[in-house]
Amino acid sequence: MSYIEELQQLLTPKQVSTNETTLEQHGRDEGYHPLSLPDAVVFPASTEDVQKVVAFANERRIPLIPFGLGTSLEGHVIPYQGGISLDLSLMNKVLDVRPQDFLVKVQPGLTRTQLNKELKKHGLFFSVDPGADATLGGMAATNASGTTSVKYGIMRDQVKDLEVVLPDGKVIHTGGMAAKSSSGLHLNGLIVGSEGTLGVITELTLQVYGIPEAIMAGRATFPTVQAAVDAVTMIRTSGISIARMELVDARSIQQVNKINELHYAERPTLFLEFHGNEAGLKQDVAFAQEIVNDFGCEELQFELDTKAQAQLWEVRHNLAYAFIHGSPGRKMMVTDVSVPLTELAGAIQDTRAAIEKEGLDGAVLGHVGDGNYHALFMIDMKDEEEVARAKRLNEHIVHYALARGGTCTGEHGVGVGKAIYQRQEHGAAFEVMKAIKTALDPNGIMNPGKIFID
Amino acid sequence: MSYIEELQQLLTPKQVSTNETTLEQHGRDEGYHPLSLPDAVVFPASTEDVQKVVAFANERRIPLIPFGLGTSLEGHVIPYQGGISLDLSLMNKVLDVRPQDFLVKVQPGLTRTQLNKELKKHGLFFSVDPGADATLGGMAATNASGTTSVKYGIMRDQVKDLEVVLPDGKVIHTGGMAAKSSSGLHLNGLIVGSEGTLGVITELTLQVYGIPEAIMAGRATFPTVQAAVDAVTMIRTSGISIARMELVDARSIQQVNKINELHYAERPTLFLEFHGNEAGLKQDVAFAQEIVNDFGCEELQFELDTKAQAQLWEVRHNLAYAFIHGSPGRKMMVTDVSVPLTELAGAIQDTRAAIEKEGLDGAVLGHVGDGNYHALFMIDMKDEEEVARAKRLNEHIVHYALARGGTCTGEHGVGVGKAIYQRQEHGAAFEVMKAIKTALDPNGIMNPGKIFID
């Protein structure tokens, strides 16, 4: 009897698939990393199911890769050593909403859009907003963030408790429902961002927020990237309560115009959003207007109604797709670094110059309030020489960020794409991370080949 | 040659003290836990000094206890197994202020008041505000918080990077200068709150904030604790940007009046503080006023000028001292739990009833925006029966919090006092914590007898 047949007996036959299409769906993510198929895809329906599969895999030394929706960008979920892809899509319930505690308990297969639909009924929202409509389990696994983290924080900041199935099949809780705790070692923060290398997240207790009284969004264009970043720094220094501040470079606006038939000025552009009470917002927006004008803002447009605001953010969020649609037959390579705010303008300019030097085309954009930006380029994966140029460019951008106290990934995570930079970024601390990995997963079954490759 | 003489040769003779007064100063903290002397107190002047001492202690299996200012409350720094108390007071410099990156780099022996004095020159402040003027290294070790965490977060939220000397003498950095990162396992969060059981913090990079444009502080009294907590919950739900919300119960106000010759109404009282821009603050304060009135507020007083505000917070911060001064010959036992906000009023009322049932006297007060509160009682440590009652009361309060999804310590940390509750609170996760402790400190030299006692 094959191990797949044994798995079918352990759960039910229909929870274990070897259908070719299903294997392929679980052999890739949304990045450029090559396909690699799992032996089987398993669909647990409960924590008990997960325990059974994990204990089985651990006993047999079979690689096990937790899978949400496959929206990762650095090959996190690709089973390069085969084994079991553990698809958590059946575990997608909202288990409990506690509005007065600002807490919600959910299963890992729920997406952030589904959660926000439920929370809206209570006047609440979940803040973390990456581009993709990822699952909350996946967002915790990669420590996702996105446009709103400058005000509300990243995924790690929202996680109050995780139920985790460890490689030996035991279930732990990493936190609790108190708003804060100084009890014991902080396992919440350790599991968040561990990318399925330490265990399987089967339940999340997350912090949520009241929907703000007033929201205002706007768009400001600048003559140079430096001017835009200087304005961002000044807005942050001034204490303005800004919820989103996104930079999109001129080449990217050009592509957005082309694909969406828009006529935005093709200049470095800030997309801004303010949250607060009516009176405070008015003062903040007026102050921000003064600041952007001081830094040579050429065009400034605020959107007051919800629909126009939604359209504005649609443009920002669809930027990657504008390049994908505009580059048939090519794969998107996106890199994601974060640097101290004072290094941001220099880093973005260096990246743009490096893109041109390598003769590639692409966007530079980012969550500039956090010093986090992405460079995105469309690659013909069959053209080895072009792939080599793209990899050299990626490496250049990462080295630049690391040399300035930054990180090789601000939000996308390590997966396979950034694993080669772990030792360079973390130095001796990488040995500590490996010691923790070995202590928790001595047989190395959990998502092997990710983060810890040497 | 004794190991102390060897240490004197390893550093310099004056950096190693066995002076009786010095030993006694390092044999206690500000809590009720009994004195226990170290063999010697060592004063490193650099990371290299720390490396030498740690490697020496590890080779000889000598207990090593990092020591800041000894303001802990649960016996964290008391050397119950003798060994070396590593006093970091010589390492107390501000190394770098980067105003536009909102970062500061400091040594662990610097206190938060010293840091804020330096930051004020740049229009910045460091937000974490426990009662004591603790060192920043100690605050990171215990994951301190205090009155402002409802808006700015706890110590763990401020730490961007730590330099840590591990038990084998190696130096690691746990993070970087980027505002966010998804690179590797999150060691920042793991070291913060580890109470010197994993290594010695020798440098901290911390997030700081711009001083807000406007601050308003006030005091509101209520007929019942329930009414005060209901007002707190509604203020939080309404999205008001409140920076501090402290509850002090009627008995505590009585003691404050007595010691400070004040005439505050002896009722459950909220101390509130709002940070924001002028216009936003005005709207927030007006809204908060409506809310507290809706919940039966009896007396409401706002302070506009800085001096009156400082006096208001002086009263709140000196509350523990009001009990200490009023109870000569007694030791303060303070317990510190945190519960979900919806459980807070019930928990505080249960605590007050339990204090009375045990025939003890004391205060109930807390950072109620976080669901975190303290019960504080003055104990005659020579009266065994009274000590037993106090311990029973402490245990009752902890069990009540744990049964409702809370934590045995919201901010004071585990030390020896809360170590007995670790298994109950964390269950199987406690084994994971112990595995991490063993992986990092296989010889168990780092602050033995704290957190991990069974």
Q: What is the 3-state secondary structure (H, E, C) of chain A?
A: CCHHHHHHHHCCHHHEECCHHHHHHCCCCCCCCCCCCCCEEECCCCHHHHHHHHHHHHHHCCCEEEECCCCCCCCCCCCCCCCEEEECCCCCCEEEEEHHHCEEEECCCCEHHHHHHHHHCCCEECCCCCCCCCEHHHHHHHCCCCCCHHHHCCHHHHEEEEEEECCCCCEEECCCCCCCCCCCCCHHHHHCCCCCCCCEEEEEEEECEECCCEEEEEEEECCCHHHHHHHHHHHHHCCCCEEEEEEECHHHHHHHHHHHCCCCCCCCEEEEEEEECHHHHHHHHHHHHHHHHHCCCCEEEEECCHHHHHHHHHHHHCHHHHHHHCCCCCEEEEEEEECCHHHHHHHHHHHHHHHHHCCCCEEEEEEHHHCEEEEEEEECCCCHHHHHHHHHHHHHHHHHHHHCCCECCCCCCCCCCCHHHHHHHHCCHHHHHHHHHHHHCCCCCECCCCCCCC
* Nearest chain B CA: its distance from A418 CA (Å): 8
Whether residue A175 sits in one domain with residue A266: no
- Name the β-bridge partners of B213: none
As beta bridge partners, residue A214 has: A276
User: What is the reported pLDDT for A317?
Assistant: 81
Residues A72 and A136 in one domain: no
How many domains does chain B divide into? 4
Give CA–CA dist A309/A322, Å, rounded: 19
Give the CATH number of the domain where residue A151 resides.
Answer: 3.30.465.10
Whether A304 contacts A216, CB under 8 Å: yes
Residue type, A386: E
Residue B16 lies in a domain: yes
Nearest to B184 among A192, A279, A426 (CB): A426
Which chain A residues are Cβ-neighbours of B279 within 8 angstroms? 279-280, 282-283
Q: Which of B186, B210, B234 is the last residue of a domain?
A: B210
Statement: residue B385 has pLDDT above 90? yes
**Which of A186, A410, A429 lies closest to B193 in CB terms?**
A186
Average confidence (pLDDT) over B116-129: 96
Q: Which of chain B's residues have a Cβ under 8 Å away from the Cβ of A170?
A: 428, 431
Residue A34 in domain? yes
Q: Give B-chain residues touching A210 at CB under 8 angstroms.
A: 236-239
The token duo for A174 is: 């990493």
Separation CA A63–CA A35 (nearest Å): 16
Domain that holds residue A366: 327-414
HEC-encoded secondary structure of A313-354: HHHHHCHHHHHHHCCCCCEEEEEEEECCHHHHHHHHHHHHHH
Q: Is B192 in contact with A212 (Cβ distance < 8 A)? A: no
CATH of the domain at B244: 3.30.70.2190
Chain B residues close to A369, C-beta within 8 Å: 179
Token pair listed for B350: 């249960």
Tell me whether residue A453 is in a domain: no
B98 shares its domain with B206: yes
Chain A residues whose CB is inside 8 A of the B432 CB are 166, 172, 187, 440
The sign one gets for the Cα dihedral B225, B231, B234, B236 is negative
> 10-residue block means of pLDDT along chain A (454 residues)?
96 98 97 96 98 98 98 97 98 97 97 98 95 95 95 97 97 97 98 98 97 93 94 88 93 91 93 92 93 95 86 84 88 94 95 94 91 94 95 97 98 97 98 98 98 88
Which of A73, A181, A409, A441 best probes binding to B when mutated, by most B CB atoms within 10 angstroms? A181
Question: Are A98 and A141 found together in one domain?
Answer: yes
Residues B330, B86, B187, B163, CA torsion sign: positive
Question: Between chains, do A144 and B182 touch, taking CB under 8 Å as contact?
Answer: yes
pLDDT band at B235 (very low <50, low <70, confident <90, very high): very high
Check whether residue B186 and residue B103 sit in a common domain.
Answer: yes
Q: pLDDT by residue (tens digit) across B79-94?
A: 999 999 999 999 999 9
Query: What one-character DSSP code corresponds to residue B197?
Result: S
Are A78 and A109 within one domain?
Answer: no
| Chain A: residue whose CA lies nearest to B151 | A152
Backbone torsion region of residue B28, taken as left when φ is above 0, otherwise alpha when ψ lies between -120 and 50, otherwise beta: beta
Selected residue of B180, B423, B431 to mutate for chain A interface (largest A Cβ count, 10 A): B180
Q: Is B313 exposed, middle or buried (0-12, 13-18, 19+ CB in 10 A)?
A: middle
* Same domain, yes or no: A108 and A172: yes
B279 and A276: CB-CB below 8 Å?
no
Residues of B in contact with A401 (CB under 8 A): 178
pLDDT for residue B58 is more than 90: yes
Task: Report the CATH number at residue A17.
Answer: 3.30.43.10
Q: Which residues of B touch A213 (CB under 8 A)?
A: 239
What residue has token string 């692409």?
A: A362
Per-residue pLDDT at B311 = 84
Q: Using CA atoms, how far apart are residues A436 and B440, in angstroms rounded to an integer? A: 8
- Closest Cα in chain A, distance from residue B217 (Å): 18
Amino acid (one-letter) located at A237: T
How close, in Å, is residue A366 to chain B by CA atoms?
13
In a domain, A394, yes or no: yes
Average pLDDT over all residues of chain B: 95
Q: Which residue of B179, B211, B407 is in closest CB contact with A338?
A: B179
Q: Measured between CB atoms, which of B142, B170, B178 is closest to A339?
A: B178
In chain A, what residues touch B158 (CB-CB under 8 Å)?
A: none
Residues B82 and B100 in one domain: no
Chains A & B: contacts with CB separation below 8 Å: 301
> What are the tens digits of pLDDT across the range A52-92?
999 999 999 999 999 999 999 999 999 999 999 999 999 99
Distance CA A432, CA B172 (A): 9
Q: Of B190, B210, B230, which residue sits at a domain end? A: B210
Rounded CA-CA distance B266/B269 in Å is 8
Question: Distance from A291 to chain B by nearest Cα, in Å?
Answer: 15
User: Would you state the pLDDT for residue A338?
Assistant: 98
What is the crossing angle of helices A278-294 and B278-294, to 10°? 170
Distance from CA of B283 to the nearest CA of A (A): 7
Q: Choose, out of A47, A180, A335, the residue to mutate when testing the contact with B (most B CBs < 10 Å).
A: A180
Q: Same domain, yes or no, for A103 and A79?
A: no
Backbone angles phi, psi at B8, to 5 degrees: -65, -30
Residue B440 in domain: no
Chain B residues touching residue A426 (CB < 8 angstroms): 172-173, 183-184
| A333 and A315 within one domain | no
- Residue pair A341/A410 in contact by the 8 Å Cβ criterion: no
Contact B143 A186 (CB under 8 A): yes
Instruction: Check residue B238 and give its pLDDT.
Output: 84
Report CB contact under 8 Å: A187, B103.
Answer: no
A333, A293: one domain = no
pLDDT band at residue B309 under the 50/70/90 scheme: confident
Task: Give contacts of B420 with chain A, Cβ < 8 Å.
Answer: none
Same domain, B99 and B166: yes
Of B210, B239, B261, which closes a domain? B210
pLDDT, residue B241, reads: 83
CATH of the domain at A404: 3.30.70.2740
Residue B238 located in a structural domain: yes
- Residue A372 β-bridge partners: A338, A367
Q: Is the pLDDT of residue B105 over 80?
A: yes
ipTM score assigned to the predicted complex: 0.96
Residue whose tokens read 């440098």: B203
Instruction: Closest CB to B100: pick one of A188, A341, A369.
Output: A341
Cβ-Cβ contacts under 8 Å for A202 (sequence gap 6 or more): A47, A50, A88, A91, A107, A108, A163, A164, A165, A171
Most B-contacting residue of A203, A374, A426, A432 (CB-CB within 10 A), to test interface = A432
Kindly list the residues from chain B whose CB atom is less than 8 angstroms away from the CB atom of residue A138.
Answer: none
**DSSP structure string for B413-434:** --TTTTGGGHHHHHTTHHHHHH
CB contact under 8 A, B212 and A435: no
Q: Specify if A224 maps to a domain.
A: yes
Give the span between the Cα atoms of B239 and A99, in whole angstroms. 13
Confidence of residue B359 (pLDDT cuts 50, 70, 90): very high
Interval B213-226: pLDDT, tens: 999 999 999 999 99
Q: Is residue B445 part of a domain?
A: no
